[in-house]
Chains A and B, each alone.
Chain A
Amino acid sequence: MSKRAALLLVSLVVTAMVIQVSLLPVFVRPAFKPDLLLVIMVFIALRSSFEAGAPLAWIFGMLDDVCSGLYLGLNATAFLISFFVIKSVSDRLYADSAILFILTVIGVTMASFTLNLLLMVLFTASPGIAYSMFSDIFSRILVNAFVASLITVFPGFDSNVEPA
């Protein structure tokens, strides 16, 4: 990854975190908050190499954990697993497709939900959290898909981040 791309990515992630923590809660109901880091992770997973993408997916998950909930490493694990799954099939797919990107975001949102739920039920004492998670999974999928569709209209969407 070039220096310019790395700088762009860092600024993007920092902006996404600030928006997610400070801006969105003021204007958007909790159930309709998109997971911006998840969307960025999916983009990285589809476009970047395995070596660069895997640590990035984990770091993005950790950053998501820093801004959310109590369990550091929860999203990191879910993101990393999702990354591996995407990477295992992305070479056989037309990764530049906007539709594929949106569908992958939907899939990863569901996978992340399932993995988070599973990990919390297995390893934490959070009775009743499943109800909260189930109650807004549908809106979460829709909002993440919406954000992903917005990203596809950006001019640089078709260009490769890094040759795989």
Chain B
Amino acid sequence: MDFLKKYMYPLLTGIGILAALLVFSLNVPRNREANILERTVFTILSPLLQPVSRVSGFIEDAWDGYIQLVDTHRENMRLREEIRELNRRVQDGSEAFLANQRLEKLLDMKKSVKAPTVAATVIGEDATSWFRTLIINRGSSSGILEGMAVISADGVVGQTVKVSPASARVVLLTDHASGIAATIQRSRARGVVKGKGEMLCSLEFTTREEDVKVGDMVITSGIGGVFLKGLPIGEVTMVKRGEYGIFQTVSIRPAVNLPHLEEVLVVQKGGYE
């Protein structure tokens, strides 16, 4: 008995550890099953756990939503900034893609033109609505002279006027002062394309006998030396032959989308100082 008394505590400790190890070792193979002890404990605790869980959830929500609001707000701002930056990159990407497509078309046109050209960007338009002119970012320092042809990927744009060292004005083919020698591509009927303001032109001096139909393509005839032969000008939208008169009335819609023009080519041929 003295022995037990003397070594009780170390003995109990050993037994306890051993029992614990035994329980542990017995439960290792059944680690996915709830034993009776576990089931009992859960059965007793579950009615209590549910409301406590709700309260703790409420507290957690309150903490995250209100007390930690400064961090949330900061994070929100950071994320918004990130979204803005990503949106900007996406927009830049789309813009670069579209610019690339436009410039590719312009390059194709440049290759087809048998004369040196200078690429220019449209930087302004006419201050009033009575005239149809554009301002481009190239001028005499880039070798541009007055009277040179201006084209885009889709066809004829107009002619340079009022050239300054760093910019030039372009009279569009739709301006009342514009006149371009032209030919109907199908029938080779000739005439002069004159601007009518708005976004339309007319083919003038084409006699009544000439074969012109709606949908015909109008191209430059090359006469006059400003525009090279064969550049698209537009499409015939209306033909009217009156009972009297020598000429017929022909309306043309320009091939180039003039209000949305961004890049052009100036053909460095001809011109005057």
Flag if A129 contacts B197 (CB, 8 Å): yes
Residues of chain A contacted by B127 (CB below 8 angstroms): 17, 20-21, 33, 35, 37, 64, 67-68
Contact pick for B131, options A31, A68, A125, CB 8 Å: A68
Flag if B176 contacts A132 (CB, 8 Å): yes
B129 close to chain A: CB less than 8 A: yes
Q: Which residues of A, 114-144, contact B by the 8 Å Cβ criterion?
A: 116, 124-129, 131-133, 135-136, 140
Nearest residue (CB) in B for A64 is: B127
With A21-B135, A128-B196, A128-B197 as contacts: A68 and B177 at CB distance below 8 Å: no
Flag if B133 contacts A69 (CB, 8 Å): yes
A25 close to chain B: CB less than 8 A: yes
B124 close to chain A: CB less than 8 A: yes
A70 close to chain B: CB less than 8 A: yes
Main SS at interface, chain A: helix
Flag if A126 contacts B129 (CB, 8 Å): no
Flag if A132 contacts B126 (CB, 8 Å): no
Contact pick for B130, options A21, A22, A37, A132, CB 8 Å: A132
A30 close to chain B: CB less than 8 A: yes
Residues of chain A contacted by B130 (CB below 8 angstroms): 68-69, 116, 129, 132-133, 136
B35 close to chain A: CB less than 8 A: no
Nearest residue (CB) in B for A126 is: B176
Q: How far is the CA of A20 from the CA of B135 in the complex (A)?
A: 12
Flag if B177 contacts A126 (CB, 8 Å): yes
Chain A 19-43 per-residue mask, 1 if CB under 8 angstroms from chain B, else 0: 0111001000011010101000000
Nearest residue (CB) in B for A129 is: B176
B171 close to chain A: CB less than 8 A: yes
Q: How many residues of A contact B (CB 8 A)?
A: 28
With A30-B129, A67-B126 as contacts: A131 and B197 at CB distance below 8 Å: yes
B123 close to chain A: CB less than 8 A: yes
Q: Which residues of B, 159-187, contact A by the 8 Å Cβ criterion?
A: 161-162, 169, 171, 175-177
Q: Sample 19 A-B pairs with CB under 8 A, ordered by A number.
A: A21-B124, A21-B127, A25-B125, A30-B129, A31-B129, A33-B127, A67-B124, A68-B126, A68-B133, A69-B126, A70-B169, A70-B171, A126-B177, A128-B196, A129-B176, A132-B129, A132-B176, A132-B196, A135-B197
Given contacts A25-B125, A68-B130, A132-B198, 6 further A-B pairs with CB under 8 A are A22-B124, A68-B128, A70-B133, A131-B197, A133-B130, A136-B129
Residues of chain B whose beta carbon lies under 8 Å from any beta carbon of chain A = 123-131, 133, 135, 161-162, 169, 171, 175-177, 194, 196-198
Q: 6 tightest CB-CB pairs across the interface, nearest first?
A: A132-B197, A67-B127, A69-B131, A30-B129, A25-B125, A21-B124
